[in-house]
Chain A
Amino acid sequence: MINAKMTCPLQTDNADVLLDYCARSLDAERKAMLEKHMEICAVCREMASAQSQIWSAMDSYEAEAISADFDRKLYARIEEMERVPAWERFWAPVREYLQGQPAWKPVLSVAAASAVFLVVIAVRTGVEQPMIEPNVNIIDVRDVEQAERALEDLEMLRQFDPLVPADSTGANAQKEVL
């Protein structure tokens, strides 16, 4: 007798237990546990009922009869394949692919390959070029410009502040303010 309780398969992400139950592929022990659980779980009961009905309805989707000459056609294809030389067998899928493609597709592939080739060439050419040394003069010019700008700012401050004498430095001006 089975006493073990089953946790709800739908709440524990184990819906496959219900699918297996409807497909009658659940082992006897788990089947009994599920049936016991379904006595108290309406959601599982309803799902199992709906799934069972779908499962049997799907039986009506029968496949069609197979043509009587299926094997004959297959062996004819095998024979034809065997007659073809090995190199031709290797080339045939590539040729079929190219024949099945619209004209622009191979052109696009060639264009993409050319683009990649050009990028590689460009990168290689770039690497071979000598490194440009940093221009020291430019840095010097910038420093001079900054110093000039600082002096101009000081001059402007002198014009606005009457306490700073026209010939005094910034340090002297600070002393006088104190």
Chain B
Amino acid sequence: MSPQPLPDDGVQKDMMAVATLERDAELMLRVRDGDTESFALLLERHRSPVIHFVYRMVQNQPVAEELAQEVFLRVYRSRANYEPTAKFTTWLFRIASHLALNWIRDRRHERGQESLDRETPDGMARQVSDRGMSKEHAMVRESKFEEIRRAIHSLPEKQKAAVLMHKYEEMEYSQIAAVLECSESAVKSLLFRAYESLRARLAHMA
């Protein structure tokens, strides 16, 4: 008997996506029924993506962690009413993006529209990670990081959220649209304008 041919990359990716979707929904339904172990598993699966997304949005690690805790707290609080009608990650990132955008708005209001460009993230110099690289290499890397950070931070909030989900969370247009509660074509337009700005701002790095 000849071996079954393996499905191609696209099909494999789709199958994995369906499996993940089902797994998340299944875990959340168990949480709804009072299984705290399943909540721990959901936290394990989504902790990093949520914190990293919020961190890149607010550019402040302690705040990002606090907001991410609020995200999971809200998920836990809403467990009784959970229905697997939408993708779990869509729901998760919708909460995360709302909290991050509200925090940015409140902060901007507090600071009287002062530009965050003037300071480094977290209000202090970012620590250069020591991974055996030379000091010069680390400095070049740090300066590149800083430019990228500033360029992303200069984007309008919705464009920034769309780019972060597209680039770092590898989300599809339809999912970004569901998170941002807009149409798929609006997301494509947001991304096009965002990357256009980034290309213009970071042209010297090319």
| A residues at B contact (CB < 8 Å) | 15-16, 19, 23, 25, 27, 49-51, 53-55, 57-58, 60-64, 66-67, 70-71, 73-74, 77-78, 81, 89
Contacts and interface: CB of A to CB of B under 8 A. Distances in A.
A75 to B, nearest CB: 9
Interface stretch (B18-26, B92-100, B194-202): B194-202
B188 A57 contact: no
Contacts of A23: 166-167, 170
A85 to B, nearest CB: 14
B132 interface: no
B192 A60 contact: no
Contacts of A81: 73, 76-77
Contacts of A27: 10
B105 interface: no
Contacts of A89: 77
A54 B202 contact: yes
Interface stretch (B81-89, B112-120, B141-149): B141-149
A73 B51 contact: no
B65 interface: yes
A51 B199 CA distance: 7
A70 B148 contact: no
B203 interface: yes
Nearest to B148: A61
A57 to B, nearest CB: 5
B206 interface: yes
Nearest to B77: A81
B30 interface: no
27 contacts: A15-B188, A19-B195, A23-B166, A23-B167, A23-B170, A25-B170, A27-B10, A50-B203, A50-B206, A54-B199, A54-B206, A55-B167, A57-B202, A58-B167, A58-B198, A60-B141, A61-B152, A62-B145, A63-B52, A63-B55, A63-B56, A64-B55, A64-B61, A67-B65, A70-B51, A81-B73, A89-B77
Given A64-B55, A70-B47, A57 B192 contact: no
B69 interface: yes
A66 B202 contact: no
Nearest to B198: A54
